Amino acid sequence: MPCGAPAMMFNKVMIVADGQTDIHNYPEIARMVSRVVDPAHDIYFTQGPMDVLDHSASKFAYGSKMGIDATHKYEEELYNELDNYSVPASSVVSVKDIKKEIPEVHDINAGLLDMGISFVVVSVKKNQTGNGESAG
0.75 exceeded by pTM? no
- Domains assigned to the chain: 1-73 (3.40.1670.10), 90-136 (no CATH)
pLDDT score for 1: 45
pLDDT in tens, 94-133: 778 888 888 889 888 888 888 888 888 889 887 776 655 6
From CA 127, how far away is CA 124, in angstroms rounded? Answer: 9
The Cα angle at residue 25 between residues 34 and 35, in degrees rounded to 5? 15
What pLDDT band is residue 79 in, cutting at 50, 70 and 90?
A: confident
